[in-house]
Structures are given as C-alpha cells and as structure tokens.
Amino acid sequence: MAVPKRKMSRSNTRHRRAQWKASLPALVPIAIDGSVYQVPRRLAKAYQRGLLAPED
C-alpha cells in the first residue's frame, strides 16, 4: 500500500477531495402493471421480477 512520505497540507487535501464528483445513475424506463417508471439500470431486473416496489 502506498504511504505518503510527508504530511500533505490541508489545502491540498481538500483540493484533492473536491475533484470527486458523484454522478446520477442512468435511468431506464420499465413498465410495471401498465405504468412506466424510471429506475436505475442496475436495478431494472429486480423491479421487473417484483423484488423491489416502485415508489412513484
């Protein structure tokens, strides 16, 4: 594991952390009981199988 040789300044630490941005999940339309819902792609099969219930 990489270990820093010296202390990083607070400014550099915060600047580095600020570069991480969360992105919204890609939503796909699925039809459940005649209604169309937008759900994350990775959860689409679970919604179709009835393992998850849409909250709309």
35-44: pLDDT as tens digits: 999 999 999 9
* 19 token code pair: 């570069």
For position 56, what pLDDT does the model report? 57
* Helix, strand, coil fractions of the chain, as percent rounded to 5: 30, 20, 45
Is 2 inside a domain boundary? no
For residue 47, the enclosing domain spans 25-56
**Is 3 part of any domain?**
no
| Residue 34 structure tokens | 């005649």
43 within a domain of the structure (yes/no): yes
- Cα distances (Å, whole numbers) of residue 10 to 17, 18, 52: 11, 12, 43
Has residue 53 been placed in a domain? Answer: yes
**Per-residue pLDDT tens for 1-54?**
788 888 888 888 888 777 778 888 899 999 988 999 999 999 999 999 999 998
Asked if residue 13 belongs to a domain, the reply is no
8 within domain boundaries: no
Flag whether the pTM goes above 0.95: no
Domain count, the chain: 1
Q: How many CB atoms lie within 10 A of CB 17?
A: 8
Kindly state whether residue 56 falls inside one of the protein's structural domains. Answer: yes
